[in-house]
Amino acid sequence: MEFPLTQHINFNRPALHLKEYERVGGYGAVQQVVKNMNPQEVTKLVQDSGLKGRGGAGFNTGMKWSFVPMNDTTQAKYLIANADEMEPGTFKDRLLLEGNPHQLIEGMIVAAYAIQANVSYVFLRWAYKKAARMIRTAIDEAYAAGYLGKNILGSGFNLEMYLHTGVGRYMCGEETALLNALEGKRATPRTKPPFPQVSGLFGKPTIVNNVETLCNLPHIINKGAEWYKSLSLGADAGTKLYGISGRVNKPGIWELPMGTSMRELLEQHAGGMCKGYEFRAALPGGASTDFLVKEHLDIKMDYPSVAAAGSRLGTGTMIILDNKTCPVGFVHNLEHFFAQESCGWCTPCREGLPWTEKLLLSMENGTGRMEDLALLEMHTRFLGPGNTFCALAPGAMEPLQSGLKYFRADFEQHIHDKKCPWR
| All domains of the chain in start order, with CATH | 18-230 (3.40.50.11540), 239-322 (3.10.20.600), 327-417 (1.20.1440.230)
pLDDT at position 215 is: 97
> In the 8-state DSSP scheme, what is residue 267?
I
DSSP reduced 3-state for 335 = helix
Enter the pTM of the model: 0.93
Contact 252, 244 (CB under 8 A): yes
pLDDT at position 56 is: 82
Residue type, 282: A
pLDDT at position 13 is: 59
* First-to-last C-alpha distance (Å) of the chain: 43
* Angle in degrees, CA 123, 129, 133, rounded to 5: 80
The sign one gets for the Cα dihedral 175, 252, 8, 272 is: negative
Please list the pLDDT of the chain residue by residue as tens digits (423 residues). 443 344 444 555 566 789 999 999 999 999 999 999 999 999 999 999 999 999 888 899 999 999 999 988 788 999 999 999 999 999 999 999 999 999 999 999 999 999 999 999 999 999 999 999 999 999 999 999 999 999 999 999 999 999 999 888 899 989 999 999 999 999 999 998 999 999 999 999 999 999 999 999 999 999 999 999 999 998 899 999 999 999 999 999 999 999 999 999 999 999 999 999 999 999 999 999 999 999 999 999 999 999 999 999 999 999 999 999 999 999 999 999 999 999 999 999 999 999 999 999 999 999 999 999 999 999 999 999 999 999 999 999 999 999 999 999 999 999 999 999 988
pLDDT at position 3 is: 38
> In the 8-state DSSP scheme, what is residue 81?
E
